Amino acid sequence: MRVVQNLIDGAFQGASGGAIINVFDPATLGQIATAPDSTAHDVDAAVEAAANAFPAWRDLPVKARSGFLDRLADLVERDSEEFARVESIDTGKPLSLARSLDIPRAIANLRFFAREVLDTELEAYETAQGRAMVRRRPLGVAACISPWNLPLYLFTWKMAPALAAGCTVVGKPSEVTPLSAWMLAQRAVEAGFPRGVLNVVHGRGPLSGAALVAHPRVACITFTGGTMTGESIARAAAPSFKRVALELGGKNAAIVCADAVAGDAVDATVEGIARAAFTNQGQVCHCASRILVERSAWDRFVPRLVARVRRLQVGDPMESTTDLGSLISAQHLLKVAAAVEAAISEGGRVLVGGSRVDSAVLPERVRGGAFFAPTLIDSLAPTARSNQEEIFGPVATLIPFDTDDEAIAIANGTRYGLSASVWCRTDTRAQRFAGALDCGTVWINSWMVRDLRVPIGGVRASGLGREGGTESLRFFAEPVAVVHGPREVTSPQLQGSTHA
Ligand code: NDP
């Protein structure tokens, strides 16, 4: 049993009131840790520590800040197996996924921003009238609030650019998955980060998260999570004009064109769609949850996809053969099961899956776990609730389309606009889709392929702002225009006329 602690001002400590949250492995429902149930008092202490540490951190040479992040990446890399195991038991995801995706990506985030900040070029423009430059002044204390689906991956995606840009950080990981952020905090101390530069406060969103968002000394907030929470954060931040970046939910379309299903191409398309819909048990905000299939290809594609999904192995996250592990919690499983029931009552037809995995077929160790079978549903109108609201589980719907305009209208016909994928072998057609889809990312014949220099984020109910590359670094800094008059100017009279 691990005892997770807050990191505040360089010291590990429990919540000021002593309250704790019990943390469970959702695959076994066994308790694995306790975490502090922090209060506004703890948040105050963390923000104060971050505010005090800010001037010295901001004034460090960029190379020094970059070096700290690189050292932290080295330590996560050194302990990557331990991080992967912990991430797997905290979330229920397959260990193989934590090993191949979550932890390598967390390391890559740290290294990427350590390098990116060094590569940032000074923005300067010369004209006959003088020289204009843009200085980027770090904002101050950054609140980094991350969710449970990709805990370390998304926490580092926020804290690394914040620290690289010269902000200090108060992080608030999800109460459901505190372990990897706690381990990261330990490695940050080992890496020699000055005290107060990185603080991590554990606790419940509505209590410690809300206190952090409302704190007057927090300069900016970067948040990934649900759309409703994002809305409440935007409201709480508005009165003090805090800068906010929100990465929220999605109802992402995968558009499958007939030519992507013709001949041998069908296998790669089926594989790609199965991955896009069910990676991490469908608990990735970019998962394809609506699969739009060109009607002429339906009979060739859908049975193959159903057969592929039937072969996905759901089971013990520790087994190397497992494709899907447990959902994040028993409560979330009930939510997903209720969403499938609602789809059926709307007229949906379950083609595969549709229910909790029968515990009798699960290995004994994980019989109590929150396992839901990967599920495909068709016969639902694009406007049905199940095709409009995010389920955030291993559930995708299939919708036929006849024309590209119809596919575009269906894909754009929800309040969300996070991402989409287009499975199409004709480049001009794929590019036309990419131009017409109202979302932040369009993948063509691929899904979740990421170049960290490229911005990612959503439109409408999927969020505000972009993260990635220079977009992330710029989020954490205020651009200040510094304009010099002509260098040759000597006469005060002439100078005056230049500025007029
Ligand atoms: P939340 O949006 O509630 O949680 C995300 C983070 O915000 C967590 O750290 C949470 O803390 C914190 N938080 C919650 N309430 C507040 C608040 N008022 N002020 C500040 N911080 C807060 O996501 P859930 O875990 O409840 O999931 C709900 C839904 O959100 C999912 O079903 C899914 O639809 C979507 N989601 C989307 C994700 C994405 O990547 N876009 C990721 C995760 C969820 P705590 O966990 O302690 O409550």
**DSSP conformation letters of 40-100:** HHHHHHHHHHHHHHHHHHHHS-HHHHHHHHHHHHHHHHHTHHHHHHHHHHHH---HHHIII
pLDDT tens per residue across span 414-424: 999 999 999 99
pLDDT by position in tens, the chain (length 500): 899 999 999 999 999 989 999 999 999 999 999 999 999 999 999 999 999 999 999 999 999 999 999 999 999 999 999 999 999 999 999 999 999 999 999 999 999 999 999 998 889 999 888 999 999 999 999 999 999 999 999 999 999 999 999 999 999 999 999 999 999 999 999 999 999 999 999 999 999 999 999 999 999 999 999 999 999 999 999 999 999 999 999 999 999 999 999 999 999 999 999 999 999 999 999 999 999 999 999 999 999 999 999 999 999 999 999 999 999 999 999 999 999 999 999 999 999 999 999 999 999 999 999 999 999 999 999 999 999 999 999 999 999 999 999 999 999 999 999 999 999 999 999 999 999 999 999 999 999 999 999 999 999 999 999 999 899 999 999 999 999 988 765 555 444 333 32
Question: What distance in angstroms lies between residue 409's CA and the mean position of ligand 1's atoms?
Answer: 29
233 Cβ below 6 A of ligand 1: yes
In angstroms, the CA 445 to CA 412 distance is 19
Residue nearest to atom 27 of ligand 1 (CA): 226
**The pLDDT of residue 486:** 80
Residue nearest to atom 30 of ligand 1 (CA): 226
Q: Which residue type occupies 216?
A: P
Residue nearest to atom 48 of ligand 1 (CA): 205
**The pLDDT of residue 497:** 32
Give span(s): CATH 3.40.605.10, the chain: 2-248+458-482
pLDDT tens per residue across span 48-76: 999 999 999 999 999 999 999 999 999 99
Residue to mutate, 158, 212, 229, ligand 1, most ligand atoms under 8 Å from C-beta: 229
In angstroms, the CA 459 to CA 67 distance is 34
- Is residue 341 part of the annotated active site? The answer reads no
Question: What distance in angstroms lies between residue 148's CA and the mean position of ligand 1's atoms?
Answer: 8
Q: What 3-state class would DSSP assign to 253?
A: strand
Q: If you compute the radius of gyration of the chain from its CA atoms, what whole number of angstroms results? A: 24
Work out the end-to-end distance of the chain between its first and last CA atoms, rounded to an integer number of angstroms: 70
Burial class (CB in 10 A: 0-12, 13-18, 19+), 405: exposed
What is the CATH topology of the domain spanning 252-444?
A: Aldehyde Dehydrogenase; Chain A, domain 2 (3.40.309)
Positive or negative, the CA dihedral 161, 164, 166, 170 is positive
- Considering 144, 220, 257, 285, which one is annotated as catalytic? 285
174 Cβ below 6 A of ligand 1: yes
Residue nearest to atom 40 of ligand 1 (CA): 285
In ligand 1, the atom with minimum distance to the C-alpha of 284 is 40
Question: What distance in angstroms lies between residue 55's CA and the mean position of ligand 1's atoms?
Answer: 31
CATH second-level architecture of 2-248+458-482?
3-Layer(aba) Sandwich (3.40)
Give span(s): CATH 3.40.309.10, the chain: 252-444
Instruction: Give start and end residues of each alpha helix (H) in 311-403.
Output: 330-345
- Is residue 247 part of the annotated active site? The answer reads yes
**The pLDDT of residue 127:** 86
In ligand 1, the atom with minimum distance to the C-alpha of 177 is 46
Question: What distance in angstroms lies between residue 229's CA and the mean position of ligand 1's atoms?
Answer: 6
In angstroms, the CA 425 to CA 90 distance is 40
**The pLDDT of residue 128:** 85
Residue to mutate, 153, 174, 283, ligand 1, most ligand atoms under 8 Å from C-beta: 174
285 Cβ below 6 A of ligand 1: yes
Extract the tokens encoding 283.
Answer: 């608990």
**The pLDDT of residue 474:** 96
Q: Are 4 and 23 in contact, with CB atoms under 8 Å apart?
A: yes
Contacts of 238 (CB under 8 A, 6+ apart): none
In angstroms, the CA 4 to CA 223 distance is 22
Q: Are strands 419-423 and 198-200 parallel, antiparallel or unpaired?
A: unpaired
